[in-house]
Chains A and B, each alone.
Chain A
Amino acid sequence: MSKLVSDDGRTHITSSLMRESLVDRKVIAKTNSAEEFSIMPDVTLVSIGGQSIFDRGKAAVLPLVTELAAIRESRKYKMVIGVGGGARVRHTIAIALDLGLPTGGVAQLVGAMEEANAVFLNALMAKHGSIVMQREHFWELPLYLESGMLPIVISTPPYHFWEPPPVEDSPLPTHGSDFGLFIHAEVLGMKRIIFVKDEDGLYDKDPKKHSDARLIKKTTLGRLQAEMPEELILDPLLFKSWQNARHVERIQIVNGLRPGELTRALAGEDVGTVIMKEKIDG
């Protein structure tokens, strides 16, 4: 039982952290343990690219909508859909930085363009049971999934005005949509994420610029980090955050311009690029 203690001028509640500094390394290490509770382990997060899919318009988006509708109809998988922002995000950033807005101000702006793509997708998928999940409705996710709906989440993480100063020389916000979706999956204890892009997967260099680019079919986070390609299809911060993560085991990148590829990935097939997090013992 927790009691109230006030013997030093402050009123404390007894707990393992009472009176302690949460900056003290030894103290906070006590809060760590090998295991972590998985909140919704059997859900897959599917991310639809902004620039790679949405910005291609009808020809790329509609076949994918049909595929998603069929997947949902099969009721085989619980999934949450995330969407990227694409060209409008890049335009927002270019203008905002030219105006000299601070990094936090830029971060406050970009999410709107991704939210617009969520609304686009929802308009197309509403008759198939989709719903845009607002952030404040975070804990309604089980309700949507149990009732067979297809929640579409906003990918930009809510760092907004409070975006930390960037590490690089560039004033760009660090916490973008790939990272946001990754953390969304991780905090809910999901095991896998599928990124739907316009390439067959992850290459050792950008296949749009180099004809000799080689597709990496299957790899591990460790191997990827040992020789990280310079041009990546996903945000490098995602891989960095994955190191300290406990739940996400598998990240797959598939080509959304090829019908059926997402369905095969959901069924567990190794299409596109599969990146596994090596299970670290202990």
Chain B
Amino acid sequence: MGEQGSEQSPRKGIANLPGVASFEQASQGKGAGFDYRPVALMPDVKVLKIGGQSLLDRGRKALFPVLDEIAAAKDKHKLLVCCGGGTRARHIYSVASDLELPTGVLAALGGYVPRQNARMLQMLLAKHGGIFMLHDDFEKLPLYFRLGCIPIMTGMPPFGYWEKPAENSRIPQNRTDAGVFLSAEVLGAKRAIFVKDEDGLYDDDPKKNKNAKLIPRITAKELLALDLPDLIVERVVIEYLQRARFCTELQIINGLTPGMLTRALEGEDVGTIISKA
């Protein structure tokens, strides 16, 4: 046994401070009587995602009106703009999965595209204070907002090579929707806004089925119960939403309809709201 060694060189722990929950209590949560009262870091930030395939790949015609709305809203709201990937990401995933590369490599490779897109938006929004930021700059958000800037970043979370292999797919499960949701959650924002090219969530793909019906409001549980073969947001986001402490609503709006983003930023329930409960 390792007993001898243990006696000669005991583990050096750190004593618990009086009045502060121990690691054991904290890790067992409420069951151990631990009163966790989470602090919302920047609850007034509006986290929004500009779709890759849905908006950026449409070019100027679709994007410029959305950027105009962002520029007009930036002095009223603190906006954190995140970018999706789009067709170049699909090309990367297609080539990489053909080469049978692992999911973590796909996630790292897929990360390049939304970063490019964020840089494009930064160039276009530079005159309004657009600032490109990396994940490592996240703690500088208060500075950017204080200066009246529009921080722009990739929607992809930083998991990269550490993305978990999925069941029955090589595509990383956490992509730009997940990153946007998780950004809103850690900031303590109530809603994450997804700007896409459809009016919201439908009961079928509106691009393929003209009779598809818009769902204005649905809970995560109801949505999962529908067991749709396709969804408008990444599946993990619906899972996370059910466990969220702050970001309890996803709003999906149509960026091709003028004024929609402005209304969403004002807190109007336009598009589809998917809620925690």
List chain A positions with a Cβ less than 8 A from chain B.
2, 9-13, 15-26, 28-29, 31-33, 35-37, 39, 51-52, 55-60, 86-88, 90-91, 93-95, 97-105, 138, 157-172, 175, 180, 183-184, 186-187, 189, 198-200, 207, 241, 244-247, 255, 257-258
User: Which residues on the A side are within 8 Å of B170 (C-beta)?
Assistant: 28, 31-33
- Known contacts A87-B13, A184-B162, A199-B2; decide if A94 and B39 are in contact (CB<8 Å): no
Say yes or no: B39 contacts A26, CB within 8 Å: no
Closest-by-CB residue of B relative to A38 is: B102
Say yes or no: A102 contacts B12, CB within 8 Å: no
Give Cα distance in the complex from A12 to B103, angstroms: 23
Question: Is B211 on the interface with A (CB-CB < 8 A)?
Answer: no
User: Which residues on the B side are within 8 Å of A171 (C-beta)?
Assistant: 26, 29, 36, 38, 245
Give Cα distance in the complex from A94 to B240, angstroms: 24
CB distance from A225 to the nearest CB of B (A): 15
Say yes or no: B9 contacts A20, CB within 8 Å: no
User: Which residues on the A side are within 8 Å of B38 (C-beta)?
Assistant: 100-102, 171
Most buried by A among B2, B4, B41: B2
User: Which residues on the A side are within 8 Å of B209 (C-beta)?
Assistant: none
Give Cα distance in the complex from A46 to B179, angstroms: 31
Instruction: Tell me which of B64-72, B84-92, B125-133, B262-270 binds A.
Output: B84-92
Q: Which 8 A-B pairs have the closest CB atoms?
A: A257-B5, A59-B9, A104-B186, A187-B104, A170-B29, A15-B94, A31-B97, A169-B29
Question: Is B203 on the interface with A (CB-CB < 8 A)?
Answer: no
- Known contacts A21-B205, A170-B27, A200-B2; decide if A101 and B39 are in contact (CB<8 Å): yes
Question: Is B255 on the interface with A (CB-CB < 8 A)?
Answer: no
Binary contact readout B88-123 vs A (1 if CB under 8 angstroms, 0 otherwise): 101101110111111111000000000000000000
Say yes or no: A94 contacts B16, CB within 8 Å: yes
Task: How many A-B residue pairs have C-beta atoms within 8 angstroms? Tell me.
Answer: 262
Question: Is B223 on the interface with A (CB-CB < 8 A)?
Answer: no
Closest-by-CB residue of A relative to B89 is: A22
Closest-by-CB residue of A relative to B88 is: A13
CB distance from A203 to the nearest CB of B (A): 11
Summarize A's interface: helix, strand, loop or mixed.
Answer: loop
CB distance from A112 to the nearest CB of B (A): 13
Pick from A21, A22, A55, A100: contact of B93, CB below 8 A.
A22
Interface pairs (25), CB distance under 8 Å: A10-B54, A12-B87, A13-B88, A21-B230, A22-B171, A35-B100, A51-B11, A56-B9, A56-B12, A58-B9, A87-B14, A94-B23, A102-B39, A102-B188, A102-B245, A161-B182, A164-B178, A164-B243, A169-B29, A170-B26, A184-B161, A187-B103, A241-B165, A244-B165, A244-B166
User: Which residues on the B side are within 8 Å of A24 (C-beta)?
Assistant: 229-230
Say yes or no: A170 contacts B182, CB within 8 Å: no
Say yes or no: B87 contacts A11, CB within 8 Å: yes
Say yes or no: A23 contacts B234, CB within 8 Å: yes
Instruction: Tell me which of B143-151, B152-160, B213-221 binds A.
Output: B152-160
Q: List 13 other contacts, CB 8 Å, given A18-B90, A183-B164.
A: A15-B91, A15-B94, A18-B87, A24-B230, A56-B11, A94-B26, A99-B39, A102-B245, A162-B178, A164-B174, A171-B29, A171-B245, A198-B2
Pick from B39, B95, B158, B205: contact of A162, CB below 8 A.
B158
Question: Is B231 on the interface with A (CB-CB < 8 A)?
Answer: yes
- Known contacts A98-B21, A162-B159, A184-B162; decide if A104 and B185 are in contact (CB<8 Å): yes
Say yes or no: B10 contacts A56, CB within 8 Å: yes
- Known contacts A31-B97, A52-B11, A164-B236; decide if A159 and B102 are in contact (CB<8 Å): no
